[in-house]
Chain A
Amino acid sequence: MCRRNSRNLLLSGLSLLCILASPALEAGVLPPDRADYLHHFYDGGGIEINGPSLLVRKSIGENVSVTGSYYVDTISSASIDVVTTGASPDGYKEERKQWGGGVDYLHGDTTMSVGYSSSNENDYEAKSLNFSISQDVFGGLTTISMGYGSGADKVSKRGDPVFSDTVDRSAYRLGLTQILTRNLIVGFSYEAIADEGYLNNPYRRVRYVDANEPQGYGLQSEVYPRTHASNAAAIRAKYHLAYDAALSAEYRFYTDDWGIEAHTLSVGYAQPFRTRWLFDLQYRFYTQTGADFYSDLFPYANYQNYLARDKELSTFQSQGPHLGVTYTFLDRQGDRPLKATVNAFIDYYMFTYDDFRDLRVNTVVGDEPLYDFDAQIYQIFFSLWF
Chain B
Amino acid sequence: MRPGTIALLTVIGAGFVLGGCSSIQPWVKPYERDRLAEPIMSFDRNPVSGAYLDHVFEAREGARGASGSAGGGCGCN
B interface footprint on A236-280 (CB within 8 Å = 1, 0 otherwise): 101010001110000010101000101010000010100000100
- Could you tell me the distance in whole angstroms from the C-beta of A294 to the nearest C-beta in chain B? 10
A182 and B52 contact, CB distance less than 8 A: no
Which of chain A's residues 142-156 have a Cβ closer than 8 Å to chain B?
Answer: 142-147
Q: Scoring B residues 44 to 60 as 1 if CB is less than 8 Å from chain A, else 0, what string do you get?
A: 10111111111111111
Pair A185/B3 contact, Cβ less than 8 Å: no
Q: Residue of B at shortest CB range from A313? A: B62
Contact B61 A262 (CB under 8 A): yes
Interface size, B (range): 35 or more
Given contacts A23-B44, A139-B26, A139-B30, contact A176 B72 (CB under 8 A): yes
Q: Does A122 contact B (CB under 8 A)?
A: no
A59 / chain B contacts, CB cutoff of 8 Å: none
Q: Contact at B70–A252, with CB atoms within 8 Å?
A: no
Q: Assess whether A365 is interfacial by the CB under 8 Å rule.
A: no
| Chain A residue at minimal CB-CB distance from B14 | A144
CB contacts under 8 Å to B, within A328-369, are 343, 345, 347, 351
Cβ-based interface call for A55 (8 A) = yes
Query: Is the pair A232, B65 in contact by a Cβ cutoff of 8 Å?
Result: yes
Contacts of B30 in A (CB 8 A): 139-140
> Interface digits, B30-50 against A, CB 8 Å rule (1 contact, 0 not)?
101101101111111011111
- CB pair A141 B27 closer than 8 Å: yes
> Which residues does chain B contribute within 8 Å of A25, judged by CB atoms?
69, 72-73
**Contact between B47 and A19 (Cβ–Cβ < 8 Å)?**
yes
Residues of chain B contacted by A236 (CB below 8 angstroms): 43, 71
At the interface, is chain A mostly helix, strand, loop or mixed?
A: strand
A28-B77, A170-B4, A172-B4 as given contacts; A345 in contact with B66, CB under 8 Å: no
Contact check, B50 vs A18: say whether CB atoms are below 8 A apart: yes
The answer to whether residues A144 and B67 also contact, given A11-B58, A381-B48 and a CB cut-off of 8 A, is no
Judging by beta carbons under 8 Å apart, are A343 and B49 in contact? yes
Query: Which residues, 17 to 39 on A, are CB-close (under 8 Å) to B?
Result: 17-19, 21-29, 36, 38
The distance from the CB of A194 to the nearest CB of chain B, in whole angstroms, is 5
Let me know if A175 is at the binding interface, CB within 8 A. Answer: yes
From 173 to 187 in chain A, residues with beta carbon under 8 angstroms from any chain B beta carbon are 173-183, 185, 187
CB distance from A195 to the nearest CB of B (A): 10
Bound complex: CA of A191 vs CA of B56, how far in Å?
Answer: 19
Q: How far is the CA of A375 from the CA of B56 in the complex (A)?
A: 11
Task: Please name 9 pairs of A and B residues whose Cβ atoms are closer than 8 Å in the assembled complex, sorted by A.
Answer: A11-B64, A18-B69, A28-B77, A173-B7, A174-B10, A190-B10, A229-B3, A236-B43, A313-B62
B residues adjacent to A (C-beta < 8 A) = 2-4, 6-7, 10-11, 14, 18, 21, 24-28, 30, 32-33, 35-36, 38-44, 46-77
